[in-house]
Amino acid sequence: MKLSKQSMCLYVVTDRSWLGGRTLAEQVEETLKGGATFIQLREKELDYDSFFKEATEIKALCKSYNVPFVINDNVDIAIACDADGVHVGQSDMEAGNVRMKLGKDKIIGVSAQTVEQAILAEKQGADYIGIGAVFSTSTKADADMVSLETLKEICNCVSIPIVAIGGINAQNILELSGTGIDGVAVISAVFAQPDICLATKELLSLSKEMVSCGYINKEK
Protein backbone atom coordinates (compact mmCIF):
# COMPACT_ATOMS: atom_id res chain seq x y z
CA MET A 1 0.00 0.00 0.00
CA LYS A 2 1.30 3.43 -0.94
CA LEU A 3 1.86 5.79 1.97
CA SER A 4 0.40 9.29 1.85
CA LYS A 5 0.73 12.26 4.19
CA GLN A 6 -3.01 12.07 4.75
CA SER A 7 -2.72 8.56 6.18
CA MET A 8 -0.65 10.01 9.03
CA CYS A 9 -3.51 12.22 10.24
CA LEU A 10 -4.77 9.87 12.96
CA TYR A 11 -2.37 7.00 13.51
CA VAL A 12 -3.71 4.52 16.08
CA VAL A 13 -1.38 2.20 18.03
CA THR A 14 -3.02 -0.81 19.67
CA ASP A 15 -2.88 -1.63 23.36
CA ARG A 16 -4.72 -4.49 25.04
CA SER A 17 -4.74 -2.77 28.46
CA TRP A 18 -8.36 -1.69 28.04
CA LEU A 19 -10.00 -4.70 26.39
CA GLY A 20 -12.71 -5.05 29.05
CA GLY A 21 -13.94 -8.38 27.74
CA ARG A 22 -13.78 -7.38 24.06
CA THR A 23 -11.24 -8.55 21.50
CA LEU A 24 -8.56 -6.26 20.17
CA ALA A 25 -9.94 -6.70 16.66
CA GLU A 26 -13.35 -5.45 17.83
CA GLN A 27 -11.77 -2.37 19.34
CA VAL A 28 -9.64 -1.73 16.26
CA GLU A 29 -12.75 -1.87 14.09
CA GLU A 30 -14.31 0.80 16.30
CA THR A 31 -11.35 3.08 15.57
CA LEU A 32 -11.67 2.34 11.86
CA LYS A 33 -15.37 3.19 11.96
CA GLY A 34 -14.38 6.44 13.68
CA GLY A 35 -11.98 7.34 10.88
CA ALA A 36 -8.54 6.10 11.98
CA THR A 37 -6.19 6.62 9.03
CA PHE A 38 -3.39 4.22 10.03
CA ILE A 39 -3.15 1.21 12.37
CA GLN A 40 -0.06 -0.14 14.11
CA LEU A 41 -0.36 -3.49 15.89
CA ARG A 42 1.87 -3.44 18.97
CA GLU A 43 2.26 -6.65 20.95
CA LYS A 44 5.08 -7.37 23.38
CA GLU A 45 3.84 -10.47 25.20
CA LEU A 46 1.98 -12.70 22.72
CA ASP A 47 3.48 -15.95 21.48
CA TYR A 48 4.12 -16.26 17.75
CA ASP A 49 0.98 -18.19 16.83
CA SER A 50 -1.35 -15.88 18.77
CA PHE A 51 0.38 -12.81 17.37
CA PHE A 52 0.15 -14.14 13.81
CA LYS A 53 -3.55 -14.99 14.17
CA GLU A 54 -4.34 -11.56 15.57
CA ALA A 55 -2.24 -9.78 12.94
CA THR A 56 -3.99 -11.65 10.13
CA GLU A 57 -7.42 -10.73 11.49
CA ILE A 58 -6.61 -7.04 11.98
CA LYS A 59 -4.86 -6.82 8.62
CA ALA A 60 -8.08 -8.00 6.96
CA LEU A 61 -10.04 -5.34 8.84
CA CYS A 62 -7.66 -2.59 7.78
CA LYS A 63 -7.76 -3.77 4.18
CA SER A 64 -11.56 -3.56 4.18
CA TYR A 65 -11.29 0.09 5.28
CA ASN A 66 -8.34 0.77 2.94
CA VAL A 67 -6.15 1.84 5.88
CA PRO A 68 -2.41 1.06 6.12
CA PHE A 69 -1.50 -1.63 8.64
CA VAL A 70 1.96 -2.10 10.14
CA ILE A 71 3.46 -4.30 12.82
CA ASN A 72 5.52 -2.86 15.66
CA ASP A 73 9.08 -4.27 15.71
CA ASN A 74 8.34 -7.83 14.61
CA VAL A 75 9.57 -8.12 11.03
CA ASP A 76 8.95 -11.87 10.88
CA ILE A 77 5.27 -11.48 11.77
CA ALA A 78 4.93 -8.65 9.26
CA ILE A 79 6.33 -10.86 6.50
CA ALA A 80 4.24 -13.86 7.53
CA CYS A 81 0.91 -11.99 7.52
CA ASP A 82 1.87 -9.77 4.57
CA ALA A 83 1.33 -6.57 6.56
CA ASP A 84 1.77 -3.25 4.78
CA GLY A 85 4.96 -2.68 6.74
CA VAL A 86 6.81 -2.41 10.04
CA HIS A 87 7.54 0.28 12.61
CA VAL A 88 10.86 0.02 14.42
CA GLY A 89 12.46 1.90 17.30
CA GLN A 90 16.01 3.10 17.75
CA SER A 91 16.97 -0.10 19.59
CA ASP A 92 15.46 -2.36 16.94
CA MET A 93 16.65 -3.33 13.46
CA GLU A 94 17.90 -0.40 11.34
CA ALA A 95 15.63 0.80 8.55
CA GLY A 96 18.09 -0.28 5.86
CA ASN A 97 18.17 -3.85 7.16
CA VAL A 98 14.39 -3.90 7.50
CA ARG A 99 14.10 -2.75 3.88
CA MET A 100 16.30 -5.62 2.72
CA LYS A 101 14.03 -8.12 4.48
CA LEU A 102 10.68 -6.56 3.53
CA GLY A 103 11.37 -5.39 0.00
CA LYS A 104 10.96 -2.02 -1.68
CA ASP A 105 7.15 -1.86 -1.67
CA LYS A 106 6.51 -2.11 2.07
CA ILE A 107 6.11 0.78 4.53
CA ILE A 108 8.85 1.35 7.09
CA GLY A 109 8.38 3.70 10.00
CA VAL A 110 11.13 4.63 12.46
CA SER A 111 10.92 6.21 15.91
CA ALA A 112 13.24 9.16 16.55
CA GLN A 113 13.91 11.73 19.24
CA THR A 114 16.57 13.89 17.61
CA VAL A 115 17.25 15.65 14.32
CA GLU A 116 20.22 13.36 13.70
CA GLN A 117 18.17 10.20 14.22
CA ALA A 118 15.44 11.49 11.90
CA ILE A 119 17.86 12.43 9.13
CA LEU A 120 19.57 9.04 9.38
CA ALA A 121 16.24 7.20 9.28
CA GLU A 122 15.29 9.01 6.08
CA LYS A 123 18.68 8.23 4.51
CA GLN A 124 18.28 4.57 5.40
CA GLY A 125 14.96 4.34 3.60
CA ALA A 126 12.27 5.08 6.19
CA ASP A 127 8.92 6.10 4.72
CA TYR A 128 7.81 8.06 7.76
CA ILE A 129 9.10 9.00 11.21
CA GLY A 130 7.39 8.84 14.60
CA ILE A 131 8.63 11.58 16.95
CA GLY A 132 8.08 11.47 20.69
CA ALA A 133 7.24 11.55 23.39
CA VAL A 134 5.89 15.06 22.89
CA PHE A 135 3.90 14.95 26.16
CA SER A 136 4.29 12.76 29.23
CA THR A 137 2.68 9.37 28.73
CA SER A 138 1.69 6.49 30.98
CA THR A 139 1.81 4.06 28.05
CA LYS A 140 5.60 4.22 27.85
CA ALA A 141 6.96 5.57 31.12
CA ASP A 142 10.61 5.44 30.00
CA ALA A 143 10.05 7.45 26.82
CA ASP A 144 12.42 10.38 26.22
CA MET A 145 10.69 13.74 25.92
CA VAL A 146 10.95 15.79 22.72
CA SER A 147 10.36 19.54 22.88
CA LEU A 148 8.10 21.31 20.40
CA GLU A 149 11.18 23.23 19.21
CA THR A 150 12.96 19.98 18.37
CA LEU A 151 9.80 18.69 16.70
CA LYS A 152 9.69 21.78 14.46
CA GLU A 153 13.38 21.42 13.64
CA ILE A 154 12.96 17.79 12.64
CA CYS A 155 10.02 18.71 10.41
CA ASN A 156 12.22 21.26 8.65
CA CYS A 157 15.09 18.81 8.17
CA VAL A 158 13.37 15.80 6.59
CA SER A 159 11.03 15.43 3.64
CA ILE A 160 9.14 12.27 4.61
CA PRO A 161 5.92 12.38 6.67
CA ILE A 162 6.16 12.87 10.43
CA VAL A 163 3.73 11.77 13.12
CA ALA A 164 4.01 12.91 16.75
CA ILE A 165 3.37 10.46 19.58
CA GLY A 166 3.29 10.41 23.35
CA GLY A 167 0.53 11.56 25.69
CA ILE A 168 -1.51 13.19 22.93
CA ASN A 169 -5.21 13.60 23.64
CA ALA A 170 -8.18 15.81 22.79
CA GLN A 171 -7.13 18.36 25.42
CA ASN A 172 -3.57 18.99 24.20
CA ILE A 173 -3.48 18.04 20.50
CA LEU A 174 -3.95 21.61 19.27
CA GLU A 175 -0.76 22.63 21.12
CA LEU A 176 1.03 20.87 18.24
CA SER A 177 -0.41 23.27 15.66
CA GLY A 178 2.21 24.93 13.51
CA THR A 179 4.95 22.40 14.20
CA GLY A 180 4.76 20.97 10.67
CA ILE A 181 3.77 17.42 11.59
CA ASP A 182 1.44 15.41 9.36
CA GLY A 183 -0.58 13.88 12.16
CA VAL A 184 -0.61 12.30 15.59
CA ALA A 185 -0.29 8.78 16.95
CA VAL A 186 -2.59 7.92 19.84
CA ILE A 187 -3.18 4.98 22.14
CA SER A 188 -5.10 5.62 25.37
CA ALA A 189 -6.79 8.67 23.84
CA VAL A 190 -8.97 6.20 21.96
CA PHE A 191 -8.66 2.76 23.57
CA ALA A 192 -9.14 3.96 27.16
CA GLN A 193 -12.30 5.86 26.27
CA PRO A 194 -15.83 4.52 26.90
CA ASP A 195 -16.84 5.15 23.27
CA ILE A 196 -13.84 4.32 21.07
CA CYS A 197 -15.57 5.23 17.81
CA LEU A 198 -16.68 8.65 19.08
CA ALA A 199 -13.27 9.38 20.61
CA THR A 200 -11.65 8.54 17.27
CA LYS A 201 -14.01 10.82 15.36
CA GLU A 202 -13.28 13.72 17.72
CA LEU A 203 -9.52 13.23 17.52
CA LEU A 204 -9.60 12.96 13.73
CA SER A 205 -11.41 16.29 13.51
CA LEU A 206 -8.94 17.92 15.91
CA SER A 207 -5.97 16.44 14.08
CA LYS A 208 -7.21 17.79 10.75
CA GLU A 209 -7.55 21.21 12.38
CA MET A 210 -4.05 20.94 13.87
CA VAL A 211 -2.43 19.76 10.62
CA SER A 212 -4.07 22.53 8.61
CA CYS A 213 -2.00 24.99 10.66
CA GLY A 214 1.18 23.03 10.19
CA TYR A 215 2.36 23.56 6.63
CA ILE A 216 3.11 27.26 6.82
CA ASN A 217 6.89 26.84 6.93
CA LYS A 218 7.18 23.23 5.80
CA GLU A 219 8.01 22.17 2.28
CA LYS A 220 7.61 18.54 1.26
Contact between 169 and 189 under an 8 Å Cβ cutoff? The reply is yes
Other CB atoms within 10 A of residue 39 CB: 23
Name the catalytic one among 7, 111, 188, 207.
111
Active site residue 208: no
- Written as one letter, the residue type at 108 is I
Handedness of CA 207, 211, 212, 213 (dihedral sign): positive
Active site residue 111: yes
Contact between 196 and 30 under an 8 Å Cβ cutoff? The reply is yes
Active site residue 218: no
Name the catalytic one among 17, 140, 205, 212.
140
Q: Which residues make beta-bridge pairs with 187? A: none
Nearest alpha-carbon partner for 91 in 157, 142, 38, 134: 142
- Written as one letter, the residue type at 91 is S
Name the catalytic one among 42, 63, 208, 218.
42
3-class DSSP state of 18: helix
Whole-angstrom Cα distance, residue 174 to residue 207?
8
Element holding 189 (H helix, E strand) = helix 188-191
List the catalytic residues.
Answer: 42, 111, 140
